[in-house]
Structure 1
Amino acid sequence: MKILTRLWKENKGLVAFLLLMTVFRSAVADWNVVPSGSMLPTIRLGDRIFVDKMAYDLRVPLTHIRIAHLGDPQRGDIVTIDSSAAHELLVKRVIGVPGDRVALRDNVLYVNGVPANYRPEGTNLLASDASSTGEYFAERFDGVTHTVRLSPDAPSPRSSFGPVVVPAGQYLMLGDNRDNSADSRYFGFFPRNEIMGRTRSVAFSLDPARHYAPRFDRFGKPLDAPFG
Structure 2
Amino acid sequence: MRWFEIALVVLTLSSGIIWLLDRLFLARRRAERAGLLEPKEPVLVDYAKAFFPVLAVVLCLRSFVAEPFRIPSSSMMPTLLIGDFILVNKFAYGLRLPINNRKFLDLGEPARGDVVVFHPPQHPEQDWIKRVVGLPGDTVAYRDDTVYLNGQPLRYDPRGRYVGRGRGADASGAKLLTEQLPGRPHPVLERDDLPYFIQGEGEWTVPAGHYFVMGDNRDNSEDSRFWGFLPEADLRGKAFLIWMHWDGSAGGVDFDRIGSRIP
Residues matched between the structures, number: 223
| TM-score (structure 2 length as normaliser) | 0.79
The corresponding residue for 1:34 is 71
Structure 1 unmatched ranges of 5 or more: none
The corresponding residue for 1:217 is 256
Alpha-carbon distance, 1:86 to partner = 3.1
Greater Cα offset, 132-141 or 152-161: 152-161
Find 1:125's aligned residue among 163, 167, 172: 163
- Map 1:1-228; keep pairs closer than 5 Å: 5-10=42-47, 12-87=49-124, 88-128=126-166, 129-132=168-171, 133-155=173-195, 157-210=197-250, 213-224=252-263
Alpha-carbon distance, 1:158 to partner = 4.1
Q: Does the 8 Å contact 1:26/1:62 carry over to 2? A: no
Greater Cα offset, 149-158 or 47-56: 149-158
Q: Does the 8 Å contact 1:171/1:192 carry over to 2? A: yes
Name the structure where helix makes up a greater proportion of residues. 2
Per-residue CA deviations over 1:6-25 (Å, capped at 9, x if unaligned) read: 24225522232023212321
What percentage of aligned pairs have identical amino acids? 36
| Aligned residue type for 1:145 | P
| TM-score (structure 1 length as normaliser) | 0.90
Larger CA Rg, structure 1 vs 2: 2
Structure 2 unmatched ranges of 5 or more: 1-25, 31-39
Alpha-carbon distance, 1:127 to partner = 4.2
Partners of 1:78 and 1:134 in 2: how far apart? 22
Per-residue CA deviations over 1:206-225 (Å, capped at 9, x if unaligned) read: 123235x211111110112x
Q: 1:155 to 1:38 in 2, by over 3 A?
A: farther
Per-residue CA deviations over 1:181-227 (Å, capped at 9, x if unaligned) read: 0000121001001011001221211123235x211111110112xxx
Partners of 1:110 and 1:173 in 2: how far apart? 14
| 1:131 aligned counterpart, secondary structure | helix
Per-residue CA deviations over 1:141-196 (Å, capped at 9, x if unaligned) read: 21320000112122562425232110011100000000000000121001001011
Q: 1:222 to 1:19 in 2, by over 3 A?
A: same
Partners of 2:213 and 2:47 in 1: how far apart? 48
Task: Give the number of the structure with larger relative contact order, counting CA–CA contacts within 8 Å between residues 6 or more apart.
Answer: 1
Stretches of 4+ aligned residues off by more than 3 angstroms: 1-4
